[in-house]
Structure 1
Amino acid sequence: MKIMRTLLIAIIFGSLTTSCFEDRDDNVILSSSIHDFVWKGMNAVYLYKAEIPDLANDRFTSNEEYGNYLNSFSSPEELFESLIYQRQTVDRFSIIVDDYIALQQALSGVSKSNGLEFNFYYEPGSTTDVFGIIRLVLNNSEASNLGLQRGQIIHAVDGVELTESNLSSLFGQDTYTLHFADYNDNGTTETDDDSIVSNGSTSSLTKVEYTENPVHTTEIINVGGENVGYLLYNGFTADFNNQLNNAFADFQASNVQHLVLDLRYNGGGSVDTARLLGSMITGQFNGSVFSKLNYNDDLQELNSTFNFTNSFNGNSINSLNLDKVYVLTTNRSASASEMIINSLGEYIDVVHIGDNTTGKSQASVTIYDSPDLGPNDVNPNHTYAMQPLVAISVNANDGVVPSSGLVPDVGFEINESVLNFGILGDENEPLLAAALADIESSLGRYSIDQSIRNTPQLTPVKKDINLKPFEDEMYIDNEFISITKKEFNQ
């Protein structure tokens, strides 16, 4: 990787924090070194620093004033939240954790899991009673070994009926027993008279340390004599870049002429992996701008350009050279998933099918309590770390993903339905079927069968439970944040 110029962020960090106070001789005992780490880290890198008066470089005139300020907060979490810009609407994603080892593992695809991901809905006619549906079974997990399948409905855990208030406690356990049910539509298309009926089946699962290969499903589907590649990709995890590239090698070998990229549950991940995926889909834009990251006013030296490439880590990219790609999404598609749509759309036709995406165009980085904010020489007295938003992603023409999310193309708005989840990778699954129909049609975009679009919808529970930790992340690899990045080009 070519790095045009380097500058340790420690220099920036030091210049910002040491210039904050006129009097460096005050002898102040701070409530906690963690509080000091939180403020100085956010002051150094936070994307929305200019919007938070308490993060201003001239906020404090002495150590005493600074110490009194830190002492006014009862916990690092309270201080951190006070420094977040518009938590409900703008920065919904910055986090602080008390165990950076778990954070590192999660960002590498390692977490404690039984292999299940769920959607939760209110039972028909209720605003409190809830049922769950298995939306994804991770490969080579306990759930897959037990034969559990996408679309199975859960009405209780450990014999306790699900409600909105008990979801966290029930599914937060390491070991639990699922009680399954059937959905009774009562023979009508209306949902008011529908019900969830126990079928007596159960399954007990235990969460274990699990490393997910995000290349979940690949298929080759013949449509009208041409091969369509299907890829369900469930996380932009840099540790699995080779596996992603191998999937595209298989697509190349099968002479794939069309691609359906399924990002419906992909909450994001590595920015660099996103540009590699973009390069695998295309190939004809080597060296051109895929995406850009812009930092706060104090860190303009870190502004970065991520270019399309034909290699990584000494490996050649297996590119399909496509000028059109189909991308499937739900409201769980976020960050790097949205970057793919936003960035590729400046170069090729991106047919967006499914539901509105999350609306997260900002990238984060892991900040440690160390001299240069990186993972070396970390303060041994605690294990806190932060994952604040530090940059905003734009495409080659400076277009940004709106906070309301990316909207599917007209005529391709399809929500997953409890009544027809379908089998992922099967040509009859509704979202994939829409893409295949459009590929098959020689008369332009296919008009989706209204029976797919008008499937009765139930109200989802807004509180997501049992998702992968730190799922809605688009992160910058730590080796990048420690240097000034002007251009990444291989």
Structure 2
Amino acid sequence: MQLNLKSTLCLLSGLILMTACGGGGGGNSGTGGTGGSGGGVPAAPSWTAGQFSDEAQFKNFCVSPRTGADPFNGGVYPDKAGTAMHEKMWLRSWNNRTYLWYREVPDLDPASYGIPAYFNLLKTTAVTDSGVAKDQFHFTQNTADYLQQSQSGVSSGYGINWSVGSTRAPRSFIVAYTEPNSPAALAGVKRGDFLLEVNGVDFVNDSSSSGVNTINAGIFPANTGEQHSFKFRTVENTEVSYQLRSADVASSPVQNARVLNTDSGPVGYFQFNSYIVPAQRQLIDAVKLFRDAAISELVVDLRYNGGGLLALAGQLGYMVTGPDIIQNRFFERLQFNDKYPNTNPVTGASLSPTPFYNREINYETGTLTSTVLPNLNLSRIYVLTTENTCSASEAFMNGLRGIDVEVIQIGGKTCGKPYGFYPTDNCGTTYFTIQFSGINSKGFGDYADGFKPTTNPVFAADIKGCAAADDFSKLLGDPEEGMLETALHYIETDSCLSLAGSGVSSAVGSLSGMGAALSGATTGSGPAVKNPAEKPLTNSIRLPLKDQQE
């Protein structure tokens, strides 16, 4: 199988991947970029209701063209001098051609809006059966930031991953976990720490404009090397203060891989935070650890995993099961809008299912290697979930259910994203708009309201398992942490753990997660601070391999 992964790094589903994920189809032709050096500014194009020109006419014509060498994709930037109307008309045509629900988008005159505001209108306003927005995943990111994180897992900051309860007073940010060897981890910041102050400003209650600006400047440093002060209340109810200096922090997507000895036999556990490229090697190492220990059960902790590479999700599906269980069935089949029943509108390739990839992938060249992945030959797994569990993580669960692997869900309802996109750059902004939905080998993909753990499944998106709160009083991987404790109890007894006497009862709180983040997490009053949970690379990306050929 030759994988032409031009866009496998196009995102991330994880985050990340990147390269020429953009502008497929007509959008990549005829741009003739010269690195921003070309001639004068052309006349702005005009809008005619209901008429959509080829997006290639507008691609890479920019208000502020980038110049010089492109450090990520080689060559020079394709940008040329253009107008805001060029950028908006490109968005309009590209979205109309590739958006999954393009029929539900009103054709508004782009001249009446700024570029970001206009893009925000290019989505459906429909809601799901539960009343939430059908499209909660329409967003943008600075292209350079996106590519850096998607290709290397590196982002600027302190290495803190937050649980966001509210961005408005009274605010609630709790440390979910820290990245190993990050400024926060080295200083002593730990899971469960509740944020009280930033640079001397009351984080919980201050609603002044100056206070919010100070808070945002501290939590979101503009540059590496900035030093800011933070005060937390620990789970032991003591106050601690730190001076943290921002840095480029490498993400460790797989953490706490360990074998837990139980009365039922050895149980494997690992925390998996995002389907980004560096995860491939870390997942392989974890699976080898579990294989050598001859584990009897596996707990995959996806509570903070917002998605990533769909190909990597297929690889993980193979590693936890194996060829005897998969039996040549596919992982997921993509479905695009009704303009493209048989072809991929981004790659132009004929539609074919995403397989359970059984070999390592070279994500730089976009090809399968000859190295076969290890596998555990398990017909049942346990997954720990919250509303931060999204996209490729849900596809992983759905793909396994499609081949009759028993998935036991412990925790909370997932975010509900059976959709994906090819992140597309134009003029230094990467745009994410829903372009496909996915179904498993049994034809199921209707979980827009999330997968829900329940002792008595009734609906197709109900999964057998137990509700459990995210327990911030214990470290992740601790057998007494509420969600993991519930999973281990289920392994032992085939029943859920009561709250009394369990780690669940000592939980500091529960994650609002991705669903709340995308809807704003803005309970409370007064001005909102920025929401760190809205980082798209870790919360909402899912990417198929490009041009799959058997």
Q: Same fold (TM over 0.5)?
A: yes
| Residues 306 and 392, structure 2, Cα contact 8 Å, conserved in 1 | yes
Q: In the alignment, which residue of structure 2 is the partner of 1:450?
A: 500
Structure 1 122/54 Cα, relative in aligned 2: closer, same or farther at 3 Å? closer
Partners in 2 of 1:475 and 1:456 — Cα distance? Answer: 31
Code of the aligned partner of 2:120: E
**Structure 1 unaligned regions, length at least 5:** 56-68, 185-196, 370-381
| Residues 287 and 309, structure 1, Cα contact 8 Å, conserved in 2 | no
Counterpart selection for 2:425 from 368, 374, 380: 368
Q: In the alignment, which residue of structure 2 is the partner of 1:48?
A: 101
Partners in 2 of 1:145 and 1:171 — Cα distance? Answer: 17
Counterpart selection for 1:116 from 156, 160, 168: 160
Q: In the alignment, which residue of structure 2 is the partner of 1:259?
A: 298
Q: How does 1:239-318 map to 2 (within 5 A)?
A: 239-283=278-322, 284=324, 285-300=326-341, 301-302=343-344, 303-312=351-360, 313-318=369-374
Structure 1 264/353 Cα, relative in aligned 2: closer, same or farther at 3 Å? same
The superposition leaves residues 221-259 of structure 1 with CA deviations (integer Å, 9 ceiling, x where unpaired) of 111262111010000113431221121111111112210
Matched, 1:415 2:466: no
Matched, 1:323 2:379: yes
Q: How does 1:77-88 map to 2 (within 5 A)?
A: 77-86=116-125
Q: How does 1:333-412 map to 2 (within 5 A)?
A: 333-346=389-402, 347-369=404-426, 382-410=427-455, 412=466
- Compute the displacement of 1:218 (Å): 0.4
The superposition leaves residues 302-349 of structure 1 with CA deviations (integer Å, 9 ceiling, x where unpaired) of 244112232133221111010110000111111111112222123211
| Residues 473 and 507, structure 2, Cα contact 8 Å, conserved in 1 | no
Task: Report which stretch shifted further, 167-176 or 327-336.
Answer: 167-176
| Residues 154 and 181, structure 1, Cα contact 8 Å, conserved in 2 | yes
Task: Report which stretch shifted further, 388-397 or 204-213.
Answer: 204-213
Code of the aligned partner of 1:291: E
Partners in 2 of 1:307 and 1:171 — Cα distance? Answer: 40
Q: In the alignment, which residue of structure 1 is the partner of 2:115?
A: 76
Code of the aligned partner of 2:124: Y
Partners in 2 of 1:234 and 1:397 — Cα distance? Answer: 27
The superposition leaves residues 265-292 of structure 1 with CA deviations (integer Å, 9 ceiling, x where unpaired) of 1111111111111111100215311111
Partners in 2 of 1:387 and 1:456 — Cα distance? Answer: 35
Counterpart selection for 1:106 from 135, 149, 152: 149
Q: How does 1:95-244 map to 2 (within 5 A)?
A: 95-97=139-141, 99-108=142-151, 109-121=153-165, 128-163=169-204, 166=212, 168=216, 170-173=218-221, 175-182=227-234, 199-224=238-263, 226-244=265-283
3-state DSSP of counterpart to 1:402: coil
3-state DSSP of counterpart to 1:232: strand
Identical-residue share of aligned pairs (%):
23
Code of the aligned partner of 1:359: G
Counterpart selection for 2:483 from 421, 426, 431: 431
| Residues 362 and 389, structure 1, Cα contact 8 Å, conserved in 2 | yes
3-state DSSP of counterpart to 1:238: coil
- Compute the displacement of 1:76 (Å): 1.4
- Compute the displacement of 1:295 (Å): 0.8
- Compute the displacement of 1:31 (Å): 4.2
Structure 1 323/183 Cα, relative in aligned 2: closer, same or farther at 3 Å? closer
Q: In the alignment, which residue of structure 2 is the partner of 1:94?
A: 138
- Compute the displacement of 1:436 (Å): 1.2
Partners in 2 of 1:157 and 1:216 — Cα distance? Answer: 28
3-state DSSP of counterpart to 1:297: coil
| Residues 125 and 135, structure 2, Cα contact 8 Å, conserved in 1 | yes
Matched, 1:32 2:80: no
Matched, 1:472 2:529: no
| Residues 470 and 509, structure 2, Cα contact 8 Å, conserved in 1 | no
Structure 1 257/93 Cα, relative in aligned 2: closer, same or farther at 3 Å? same
The superposition leaves residues 144-164 of structure 1 with CA deviations (integer Å, 9 ceiling, x where unpaired) of 222222122221111211137
Task: Report which stretch shifted further, 161-170 or 429-438.
Answer: 161-170
CA RMSD in angstroms comes to 3.3
3-state DSSP of counterpart to 2:486: helix
Code of the aligned partner of 1:48: W
Structure 1 103/428 Cα, relative in aligned 2: closer, same or farther at 3 Å? same
Partners in 1 of 2:90 and 2:251 — Cα distance? Answer: 32
Partners in 2 of 1:468 and 1:112 — Cα distance? Answer: 15
| Residues 252 and 320, structure 1, Cα contact 8 Å, conserved in 2 | yes
Partners in 1 of 2:239 and 2:154 — Cα distance? Answer: 33
Task: Report which stretch shifted further, 385-394 or 349-358.
Answer: 385-394
- Compute the displacement of 1:365 (Å): 1.1
Partners in 2 of 1:211 and 1:457 — Cα distance? Answer: 28
The two structures have a TM-score, normalised by structure 1, of 0.78
Partners in 2 of 1:394 and 1:168 — Cα distance? Answer: 40
- Compute the displacement of 1:51 (Å): 1.8
Structure 1 321/335 Cα, relative in aligned 2: closer, same or farther at 3 Å? same
| Residues 41 and 367, structure 1, Cα contact 8 Å, conserved in 2 | no
Q: In the alignment, which residue of structure 1 is the partner of 2:25?
A: 10
Code of the aligned partner of 2:449: S
Structure 1 90/292 Cα, relative in aligned 2: closer, same or farther at 3 Å? same
Partners in 2 of 1:305 and 1:247 — Cα distance? Answer: 27
The superposition leaves residues 167-224 of structure 1 with CA deviations (integer Å, 9 ceiling, x where unpaired) of 645522354211122569xxxxxxxxxxxx7x44211112222221201220111112
- Compute the displacement of 1:71 (Å): 2.6
Partners in 2 of 1:456 and 1:428 — Cα distance? Answer: 11
Partners in 1 of 2:434 and 2:124 — Cα distance? Answer: 10
Structure 1 121/20 Cα, relative in aligned 2: closer, same or farther at 3 Å? closer
Structure 1 90/101 Cα, relative in aligned 2: closer, same or farther at 3 Å? same
3-state DSSP of counterpart to 1:54: coil
3-state DSSP of counterpart to 2:451: coil
Structure 1 305/12 Cα, relative in aligned 2: closer, same or farther at 3 Å? farther
| Residues 197 and 231, structure 2, Cα contact 8 Å, conserved in 1 | yes
3-state DSSP of counterpart to 1:33: helix
| Residues 157 and 220, structure 2, Cα contact 8 Å, conserved in 1 | no
